[in-house]
Structure 1
Amino acid sequence: MAVNIEAYNSIIEELKSKSVQLVAVSKTKPMEDIKALYNAGQRDFGENYVQEITEKQPALPADIHWHFIGHLQSNKVKYIAPFVYLIHGVDSLKLLQEINKQASKNNRVIDCLLQVYIAQEESKFGLDENELQEIIANLSSLTSVRVTGLMGMASFSDDLSKVRNEFHNLKSIFDKLKSQELPANCQPSILSMGMSGDYQVAVEEGSTMVRIGSLLFGARK
């Protein structure tokens, strides 16, 4: 299926009225599809695989904001450090330290979201509240990263009340974090939660950024 511009326009209108940012998830999608959405006005694109994002980035317009939304391995950080706009899934202090090191080598400060584990599924990655606080306690020494918020993935479930509850929990962790005294490089303004199947529930529960792929690009093969 080609890009669904009609769906894009309607989602953008819906999100704009609530001040929610859209990241178009373009993983596995061809560059023509990204260009079509770019031409419709989209600038934020999310990719899951390092090899794919590093191939697409130089071939597409320079003003695209590339979001890395997959599970990032420490040894791959160096490949995206020169250009990545926001890393969504930081789930360990070790990974954040590596991002800091590679950002410094590129004379950049890289914005990151800390991924909190909210789903009742073993397959999901993320921090618990104690690990989150440990990272916050170590942040002031990491001068080439900035934590701009939290990210979480709800259970893959048709039970929307369960999903809502998980988003609600993440919002309360986010609010608690914002009420703390924080280091200068922790400026939590982004709460990234919600995907194609559950973004409306996420927005109702306080999400400020949603990651949508299949509604825009069609289902993945």
Structure 2
Amino acid sequence: MIKENLEKIKVTLPENVTLVAVSKTKPIADLQEAYNAGQRIFGENKIQEMAEKHEALPKDIQWHMIGHLQSNKVKYMAHFVNLIHGIDKFSTLKEINKQAKKHNKVINCLLQARIAEEETKFGLSFVDIEAILSSKEMAELQNIKIIGLMGMATFTDDKNQLTKEFSSLKIFFDKLKTKNSELKTLSMGMSGDYELAIENGSTMIRVGSSIFGHRNYNQ
């Protein structure tokens, strides 16, 4: 089933869109099945769980941290993580830089923009993102690389609302790219809204339940 689900999604994706298989709470056997079907990028929201899966699974997998990040846990994934989504504090960037330096590597990061109208969503304002990217302090962080932005839309079936939120982030992203050539990735869209996100310029989608089935909330 996982293989069929992956094939169904991938056949519809434009070439420039990267699929992150959101595997949080899923057993290693499910990830192995997706791996056997050709998937190489997996997204987790808990560092400990991601570290355990990294140990158990093939080493050519790219691991993306997609959950809200606690700075004190960065050290547990710094040696293997490929991309960290959802960064919404400069202090977190400093900690990632510190831990990356210990491993003599550069860690790719996405800044999370707050585009949803829900109060519960994390994220930086557009003004704060511009301030971070242009700051002297940011320029001093040699072991991280901001390669793009990430956004989570309001949890709604209202396509007009979703389109408004996705397009606002795309417009802002394009504006930033004129001054920051390293910005390549716009991560927006999940199982319920990724097609609309792609229509509005997403280059990376985070899909879980459409691949693995619904999450096990008891874990």
Tell me the TM-score normalised to structure 1 length: 0.94
> Hey, what's the Cα distance between the residues in 1 that align with 2:66 and 2:43?
6
Question: Does the alignment pair 1:202 with 2:197?
Answer: yes
**Counterpart secondary structure, 2:202:** coil
Unaligned runs of 5+ in 2: none
> Hey, what's the Cα distance between the residues in 2 that align with 1:36 and 1:11?
16
1:128-157 Cα offsets, whole Å, 9 max, x none, are: 012102211232100000000000000001
Question: Could you say which residue in structure 2 is the equivalent of 1:46?
Answer: 43
**Counterpart secondary structure, 2:75:** helix
**Counterpart secondary structure, 1:132:** helix
Question: Does the alignment pair 1:65 with 2:62?
Answer: yes
One-letter amino acid of the structure 2 residue matched with residue 211 of structure 1: R
1:89-118 Cα offsets, whole Å, 9 max, x none, are: 111110001000000011110000000000
> Hey, what's the Cα distance between the residues in 1 that align with 2:145 and 2:197?
24
> Hey, what's the Cα distance between the residues in 2 that align with 1:163 and 1:105?
40
Pairs within 5 Å for 1:14-93: 14-15=12-13, 17-93=14-90
Unaligned runs of 5+ in 1: none
Question: Could you tell me whether the CA contact under 8 Å between 2:2 and 2:33 is conserved in 1?
Answer: no
Question: Does the alignment pair 1:101 with 2:98?
Answer: yes
Q: Which runs of 4+ in 1 moved over 4 A?
A: none
**Counterpart secondary structure, 2:184:** strand
> Hey, what's the Cα distance between the residues in 1 that align with 2:215 and 2:99?
32
Tell me the TM-score normalised to structure 2 length: 0.95
**Counterpart secondary structure, 2:86:** strand
1:43-80 Cα offsets, whole Å, 9 max, x none, are: 00000011110111111000000000000011011111
One-letter amino acid of the structure 1 residue matched with residue 124 of structure 2: L
Question: Could you say which residue in structure 2 is the equivalent of 1:144?
Answer: 143
One-letter amino acid of the structure 1 residue matched with residue 11 of structure 2: E
Which stretch has the larger CA shift, 33-42 or 134-143? 134-143
Aligned length: 214
User: C-alpha root-mean-square deviation of aligned residues, in Å?
Assistant: 1.0
> Hey, what's the Cα distance between the residues in 2 that align with 1:29 and 1:21?
20
CA displacement at 1:4 relative to structure 2: 2.6
> Hey, what's the Cα distance between the residues in 2 that align with 1:28 and 1:96?
26
**Counterpart secondary structure, 1:14:** coil
Question: Could you say which residue in structure 2 is the equivalent of 1:166?
Answer: 165
One-letter amino acid of the structure 2 residue matched with residue 122 of structure 1: E
Identity of aligned residues (%): 55
1:154-201 Cα offsets, whole Å, 9 max, x none, are: 000111110111000000110010012x4xxx7100000000000000
Question: Does the alignment pair 1:131 with 2:131?
Answer: no
**Counterpart secondary structure, 1:188:** coil
Pairs within 5 Å for 1:152-191: 152-180=151-179, 182=180, 187-191=182-186
